[in-house]
Copies of this chain bind each other. A is one copy, B any other.
Amino acid sequence: MLSYLEASSRKVEAALKTFLPTLDEKASTLHRAMHYSLFAGGKRLRPALAFAAAEACGGNGSLAVPSACAVECVHTYSLIHDDLPCMDDDDLRRGCPTCHKVFGEAVAVLAGDALLTIAFQILCETPVSPRYPLRRQIRELAVSAGSRWLIGGQVQDMEAEGKETSASLVRAIHLRKTAAMMRVALRLGAMAANAEPWELRLLSRFGVALGLAFQTIDDILDVTQTQEKLGKSAGKDERAGKATLPGVLGLEVARRKAQEYTRKALDTLVPLGARGESLRSLTEFLLRREF
Protein backbone atom coordinates (compact mmCIF):
# COMPACT_ATOMS: atom_id res chain seq x y z
CA MET A 1 0.00 0.00 0.00
CA LEU A 2 2.95 2.24 0.56
CA SER A 3 3.30 2.13 -3.21
CA TYR A 4 -0.18 3.57 -3.82
CA LEU A 5 0.64 6.39 -1.37
CA GLU A 6 4.00 6.85 -3.05
CA ALA A 7 2.50 6.97 -6.51
CA SER A 8 -0.16 9.46 -5.34
CA SER A 9 2.49 11.52 -3.69
CA ARG A 10 4.58 11.73 -6.84
CA LYS A 11 1.52 12.63 -8.90
CA VAL A 12 0.33 15.36 -6.55
CA GLU A 13 3.79 16.83 -6.08
CA ALA A 14 4.39 17.06 -9.81
CA ALA A 15 1.02 18.78 -10.24
CA LEU A 16 1.55 21.14 -7.30
CA LYS A 17 4.78 22.27 -8.91
CA THR A 18 2.88 23.30 -12.03
CA PHE A 19 0.18 25.12 -10.01
CA LEU A 20 2.54 27.02 -7.70
CA PRO A 21 4.72 30.00 -8.66
CA THR A 22 8.06 28.62 -9.82
CA LEU A 23 10.94 28.51 -7.40
CA ASP A 24 13.90 30.03 -9.22
CA GLU A 25 16.69 32.23 -7.88
CA LYS A 26 14.43 35.30 -8.16
CA ALA A 27 11.63 33.72 -6.09
CA SER A 28 10.30 35.92 -3.28
CA THR A 29 10.62 34.94 0.38
CA LEU A 30 6.87 34.29 0.34
CA HIS A 31 7.10 31.83 -2.53
CA ARG A 32 10.07 30.10 -0.91
CA ALA A 33 8.08 29.73 2.31
CA MET A 34 5.09 28.29 0.43
CA HIS A 35 7.31 25.74 -1.31
CA TYR A 36 9.18 24.95 1.90
CA SER A 37 6.07 23.86 3.74
CA LEU A 38 4.27 22.29 0.79
CA PHE A 39 7.23 20.12 -0.24
CA ALA A 40 8.39 19.15 3.24
CA GLY A 41 7.51 15.51 2.59
CA GLY A 42 4.11 14.84 4.08
CA LYS A 43 2.36 11.52 3.54
CA ARG A 44 -0.05 13.11 1.02
CA LEU A 45 -2.82 11.05 2.52
CA ARG A 46 -5.59 13.46 1.48
CA PRO A 47 -4.50 13.54 -2.17
CA ALA A 48 -4.35 9.73 -2.14
CA LEU A 49 -7.93 9.71 -0.83
CA ALA A 50 -9.04 12.03 -3.65
CA PHE A 51 -7.40 9.80 -6.28
CA ALA A 52 -8.75 6.61 -4.76
CA ALA A 53 -12.25 8.12 -4.48
CA ALA A 54 -12.26 9.00 -8.19
CA GLU A 55 -11.23 5.41 -8.96
CA ALA A 56 -13.82 4.01 -6.58
CA CYS A 57 -16.47 5.83 -8.62
CA GLY A 58 -15.21 4.31 -11.85
CA GLY A 59 -13.16 7.29 -13.01
CA ASN A 60 -9.49 7.70 -13.72
CA GLY A 61 -7.57 8.89 -10.67
CA SER A 62 -6.04 11.71 -12.70
CA LEU A 63 -9.43 13.43 -12.86
CA ALA A 64 -8.90 14.24 -9.19
CA VAL A 65 -5.54 16.00 -9.61
CA PRO A 66 -6.90 19.54 -9.02
CA SER A 67 -9.05 18.39 -6.07
CA ALA A 68 -6.07 16.59 -4.57
CA CYS A 69 -3.79 19.61 -4.94
CA ALA A 70 -6.39 22.04 -3.59
CA VAL A 71 -7.02 19.94 -0.49
CA GLU A 72 -3.29 19.47 0.12
CA CYS A 73 -2.76 23.26 -0.03
CA VAL A 74 -5.54 23.79 2.53
CA HIS A 75 -4.07 21.05 4.73
CA THR A 76 -0.56 22.55 4.58
CA TYR A 77 -1.83 26.06 5.32
CA SER A 78 -3.67 24.73 8.36
CA LEU A 79 -0.49 23.07 9.64
CA ILE A 80 1.54 26.27 9.19
CA HIS A 81 -0.99 28.33 11.15
CA ASP A 82 -1.53 25.64 13.82
CA ASP A 83 2.24 25.53 14.43
CA LEU A 84 2.51 29.30 15.08
CA PRO A 85 3.74 30.44 18.50
CA CYS A 86 0.31 31.91 19.29
CA MET A 87 -1.28 28.49 18.63
CA ASP A 88 0.40 25.13 19.22
CA ASP A 89 3.90 26.69 19.18
CA ASP A 90 5.57 23.78 17.42
CA ASP A 91 9.19 23.77 16.28
CA LEU A 92 9.11 20.58 14.24
CA ARG A 93 6.81 19.37 11.49
CA ARG A 94 7.38 16.44 9.16
CA GLY A 95 10.90 16.15 10.61
CA CYS A 96 11.89 19.72 9.69
CA PRO A 97 11.79 23.10 11.46
CA THR A 98 8.32 24.64 11.12
CA CYS A 99 7.70 27.45 8.64
CA HIS A 100 7.87 30.26 11.21
CA LYS A 101 11.13 28.86 12.59
CA VAL A 102 12.72 29.23 9.16
CA PHE A 103 10.97 32.30 7.74
CA GLY A 104 9.69 34.15 10.81
CA GLU A 105 6.13 34.48 12.03
CA ALA A 106 4.94 37.16 9.63
CA VAL A 107 5.98 35.28 6.52
CA ALA A 108 4.57 32.04 7.95
CA VAL A 109 1.16 33.65 8.50
CA LEU A 110 1.24 35.04 4.95
CA ALA A 111 2.51 31.81 3.36
CA GLY A 112 -0.42 30.02 5.01
CA ASP A 113 -2.80 32.69 3.71
CA ALA A 114 -1.37 32.31 0.21
CA LEU A 115 -1.71 28.51 0.23
CA LEU A 116 -5.34 28.80 1.35
CA THR A 117 -5.98 31.33 -1.41
CA ILE A 118 -4.31 29.31 -4.15
CA ALA A 119 -6.31 26.23 -3.17
CA PHE A 120 -9.45 27.85 -4.59
CA GLN A 121 -7.60 28.90 -7.71
CA ILE A 122 -6.38 25.33 -8.23
CA LEU A 123 -9.83 23.83 -7.69
CA CYS A 124 -10.98 25.96 -10.65
CA GLU A 125 -8.93 23.58 -12.82
CA THR A 126 -11.10 20.59 -11.91
CA PRO A 127 -12.63 18.89 -14.96
CA VAL A 128 -16.23 19.75 -15.80
CA SER A 129 -18.46 17.23 -14.08
CA PRO A 130 -22.08 16.94 -15.26
CA ARG A 131 -23.56 16.31 -11.81
CA TYR A 132 -21.37 18.66 -9.80
CA PRO A 133 -20.89 22.23 -11.07
CA LEU A 134 -17.78 24.08 -9.89
CA ARG A 135 -20.04 26.33 -7.76
CA ARG A 136 -20.90 23.34 -5.61
CA GLN A 137 -17.31 22.10 -5.36
CA ILE A 138 -15.90 25.50 -4.32
CA ARG A 139 -18.66 25.80 -1.74
CA GLU A 140 -17.88 22.35 -0.31
CA LEU A 141 -14.20 23.15 0.02
CA ALA A 142 -14.95 26.52 1.65
CA VAL A 143 -17.44 25.00 4.09
CA SER A 144 -15.14 22.12 5.09
CA ALA A 145 -12.15 24.45 5.53
CA GLY A 146 -14.26 27.16 7.15
CA SER A 147 -15.41 28.38 10.53
CA ARG A 148 -17.78 25.48 11.20
CA TRP A 149 -15.35 22.69 10.38
CA LEU A 150 -11.55 22.92 10.03
CA ILE A 151 -11.03 26.38 11.57
CA GLY A 152 -13.83 25.94 14.10
CA GLY A 153 -12.19 22.69 15.18
CA GLN A 154 -8.87 24.40 15.78
CA VAL A 155 -10.57 27.01 18.00
CA GLN A 156 -12.43 24.28 19.88
CA ASP A 157 -9.16 22.35 20.30
CA MET A 158 -7.42 25.42 21.78
CA GLU A 159 -10.34 26.22 24.04
CA ALA A 160 -10.36 22.66 25.41
CA GLU A 161 -6.69 22.86 26.43
CA GLY A 162 -6.08 22.24 30.10
CA LYS A 163 -9.80 21.83 30.76
CA GLU A 164 -11.88 18.86 31.84
CA THR A 165 -12.84 17.05 28.62
CA SER A 166 -15.07 14.20 27.55
CA ALA A 167 -14.91 11.57 24.83
CA SER A 168 -17.73 13.33 23.00
CA LEU A 169 -15.89 16.67 22.99
CA VAL A 170 -12.77 14.94 21.67
CA ARG A 171 -14.87 13.31 18.98
CA ALA A 172 -16.37 16.67 17.98
CA ILE A 173 -12.88 18.17 17.67
CA HIS A 174 -11.61 15.21 15.62
CA LEU A 175 -14.63 15.45 13.33
CA ARG A 176 -14.00 19.12 12.64
CA LYS A 177 -10.20 19.25 12.65
CA THR A 178 -9.45 16.00 10.86
CA ALA A 179 -12.43 14.15 9.42
CA ALA A 180 -13.93 17.14 7.56
CA MET A 181 -10.89 17.59 5.30
CA MET A 182 -10.59 13.85 4.62
CA ARG A 183 -14.27 13.73 3.76
CA VAL A 184 -13.98 16.68 1.39
CA ALA A 185 -10.88 15.19 -0.26
CA LEU A 186 -12.91 12.06 -0.97
CA ARG A 187 -15.99 14.00 -2.08
CA LEU A 188 -14.13 16.33 -4.43
CA GLY A 189 -12.23 13.41 -5.93
CA ALA A 190 -15.52 11.57 -6.43
CA MET A 191 -17.21 14.64 -7.91
CA ALA A 192 -14.37 15.03 -10.41
CA ALA A 193 -15.26 11.49 -11.55
CA ASN A 194 -18.98 12.43 -11.71
CA ALA A 195 -19.87 10.02 -8.91
CA GLU A 196 -23.39 8.64 -8.44
CA PRO A 197 -25.14 10.27 -5.47
CA TRP A 198 -25.05 7.00 -3.46
CA GLU A 199 -21.31 6.77 -3.97
CA LEU A 200 -20.87 10.28 -2.64
CA ARG A 201 -22.93 9.47 0.45
CA LEU A 202 -20.95 6.30 1.05
CA LEU A 203 -17.63 8.13 0.73
CA SER A 204 -18.78 10.78 3.21
CA ARG A 205 -19.52 8.12 5.79
CA PHE A 206 -16.20 6.45 5.04
CA GLY A 207 -14.36 9.78 5.39
CA VAL A 208 -15.82 10.43 8.81
CA ALA A 209 -14.93 6.96 10.11
CA LEU A 210 -11.46 7.14 8.60
CA GLY A 211 -10.85 10.64 10.00
CA LEU A 212 -11.82 9.54 13.49
CA ALA A 213 -9.62 6.44 13.24
CA PHE A 214 -6.71 8.46 11.88
CA GLN A 215 -6.80 11.17 14.54
CA THR A 216 -7.26 8.68 17.36
CA ILE A 217 -4.20 6.78 16.14
CA ASP A 218 -2.28 10.06 15.84
CA ASP A 219 -3.09 10.89 19.46
CA ILE A 220 -2.00 7.40 20.54
CA LEU A 221 1.28 7.70 18.63
CA ASP A 222 1.94 11.04 20.32
CA VAL A 223 1.97 9.15 23.63
CA THR A 224 3.81 6.01 22.58
CA GLN A 225 6.35 7.11 19.95
CA THR A 226 9.61 9.00 19.98
CA GLN A 227 10.09 12.34 18.26
CA GLU A 228 12.46 10.69 15.78
CA LYS A 229 9.81 8.28 14.57
CA LEU A 230 7.03 10.89 14.48
CA GLY A 231 8.96 13.61 12.69
CA LYS A 232 7.37 16.08 15.07
CA SER A 233 7.62 16.79 18.79
CA ALA A 234 6.38 13.77 20.82
CA GLY A 235 4.43 13.81 24.07
CA LYS A 236 3.34 17.30 23.13
CA ASP A 237 -0.40 16.75 23.61
CA GLU A 238 -0.05 15.77 27.24
CA ARG A 239 2.32 18.63 28.05
CA ALA A 240 -0.07 21.09 26.37
CA GLY A 241 -3.08 19.64 28.18
CA LYS A 242 -4.71 18.79 24.83
CA ALA A 243 -8.03 17.00 24.65
CA THR A 244 -7.15 13.53 23.30
CA LEU A 245 -8.84 10.16 23.38
CA PRO A 246 -5.97 8.41 25.22
CA GLY A 247 -6.11 11.32 27.70
CA VAL A 248 -9.82 10.85 28.34
CA LEU A 249 -10.23 7.08 28.01
CA GLY A 250 -6.74 5.73 28.58
CA LEU A 251 -4.48 4.04 26.02
CA GLU A 252 -6.17 0.67 25.91
CA VAL A 253 -9.68 1.96 25.32
CA ALA A 254 -8.36 4.48 22.78
CA ARG A 255 -6.69 1.63 20.88
CA ARG A 256 -9.96 -0.29 20.83
CA LYS A 257 -11.77 2.84 19.61
CA ALA A 258 -9.26 3.26 16.81
CA GLN A 259 -9.84 -0.33 15.73
CA GLU A 260 -13.60 0.15 15.90
CA TYR A 261 -13.48 3.25 13.68
CA THR A 262 -11.18 1.49 11.24
CA ARG A 263 -13.46 -1.51 11.10
CA LYS A 264 -16.40 0.80 10.47
CA ALA A 265 -14.52 2.56 7.69
CA LEU A 266 -13.74 -0.80 6.04
CA ASP A 267 -17.33 -2.00 6.37
CA THR A 268 -18.58 1.18 4.71
CA LEU A 269 -16.53 0.34 1.62
CA VAL A 270 -18.13 -3.08 1.01
CA PRO A 271 -20.81 -1.94 -1.51
CA LEU A 272 -18.05 -0.53 -3.75
CA GLY A 273 -16.73 -4.03 -4.39
CA ALA A 274 -13.43 -4.26 -6.26
CA ARG A 275 -13.45 -0.55 -7.11
CA GLY A 276 -12.97 0.25 -3.42
CA GLU A 277 -9.69 -1.70 -3.32
CA SER A 278 -7.35 1.32 -3.10
CA LEU A 279 -9.42 2.91 -0.35
CA ARG A 280 -9.44 -0.38 1.54
CA SER A 281 -5.68 -0.81 1.31
CA LEU A 282 -5.10 2.81 2.35
CA THR A 283 -7.26 2.25 5.42
CA GLU A 284 -5.46 -0.98 6.30
CA PHE A 285 -2.12 0.76 5.89
CA LEU A 286 -3.18 3.43 8.36
CA LEU A 287 -4.28 0.80 10.86
CA ARG A 288 -0.91 -0.91 10.58
CA ARG A 289 0.92 2.21 11.78
CA GLU A 290 2.56 1.12 15.05
CA PHE A 291 0.45 2.00 17.99
| Chain A interface (Cβ < 8 Å from any Cβ of B) | 21, 28-31, 34, 77, 81, 84, 86-87, 104-107, 109-110, 112-114, 116-118, 120-121, 123-124, 133-135, 138-139, 141-143, 145-148, 151-152, 154-156, 158-159
Contact = CB atoms under 8 A, between A and B. Distances in A.
State how many copies of this chain the complex holds.
Answer: 2
Given A28-B155, A118-B142, A146-B114, A109 B86 contact: yes
A1 B124 CA distance: 38
A145 B121 CA distance: 11
A21 B84 CA distance: 26
Q: Taking each of A21, A106, A133, which has the highest tally of chain B beta carbons within 10 Å of its own beta carbon? A: A106
Contact of A138 (B113, B124, B156): B124
Contacts of A139: 121, 124
Contacts of A159: 29
A26 to B, nearest CB: 13
Given A87-B109, A133-B134, 6 more contacts: A29-B159, A30-B155, A110-B151, A112-B113, A117-B145, A118-B147
A135 B66 CA distance: 13
Contacts of A148: 21
Q: Taking each of A77, A104, A148, A155, which has the highest tally of chain B beta carbons within 10 Å of its own beta carbon? A: A155
26 contacts: A29-B159, A30-B147, A30-B151, A34-B147, A77-B113, A86-B104, A86-B109, A87-B106, A106-B158, A107-B155, A109-B109, A110-B151, A112-B113, A113-B113, A114-B146, A116-B116, A117-B142, A117-B151, A118-B142, A120-B138, A121-B143, A123-B138, A124-B138, A124-B139, A124-B142, A134-B138
A123 B135 CA distance: 9
A258 to B, nearest CB: 28
Contacts of A117: 116, 142, 145-147, 151
